[in-house]
A = this chain, B = another copy of it.
Amino acid sequence: MVVDNVPNEDEHVNRLFHALSDATRRDILHRSAEGGLSVSRLAEDYPMSFAAVQKHVAVLERAGLVSKERRGREQLVRTEPDAVRRARAALDRIEDLWRGRVDRMSLILDEELGA
């Protein structure tokens, strides 16, 4: 049995892009990049229930794109720039392949295969 509470890299990238595939979640990312917004504050601006926004934040959190910090009774959401950069790196790998940068590619492959 594979230990899958320690997700592998593929699963992590899956979650990253899945989290980014929803306009509400991308908007939450944008707004939370500015500073710490509470979940209910975020929820005010979307045409859906508080619980729905809470779920969107949870998806972003599982993807590592945001983290939450408790302050009093509210939970402040802030985006994690490292995760955004990881997503970009995944796209870079695809783009590099297209450009035929085989040299950089083999380096990256080594990385990915853990060799």
Interface residues contributed by chain A, number (CB under 8 Å): 33
Contact A94 B17 (CB under 8 A): no
Integer count of this chain's copies in the complex: 2
Interface of A, helix, strand, loop or mixed by DSSP: helix
Residues of chain A whose beta carbon lies under 8 Å from any beta carbon of chain B: 10, 13-18, 20-23, 26, 29-30, 33-35, 79, 81, 84-85, 87-88, 90-95, 97-99, 101
Q: List 26 A-B contacts (CB under 8 A).
A: A10-B23, A13-B26, A14-B21, A17-B20, A20-B90, A20-B91, A26-B90, A26-B94, A29-B94, A30-B94, A30-B97, A33-B94, A33-B97, A34-B97, A79-B94, A79-B98, A81-B98, A84-B91, A84-B94, A84-B95, A85-B95, A87-B91, A88-B88, A88-B91, A88-B92, A91-B91
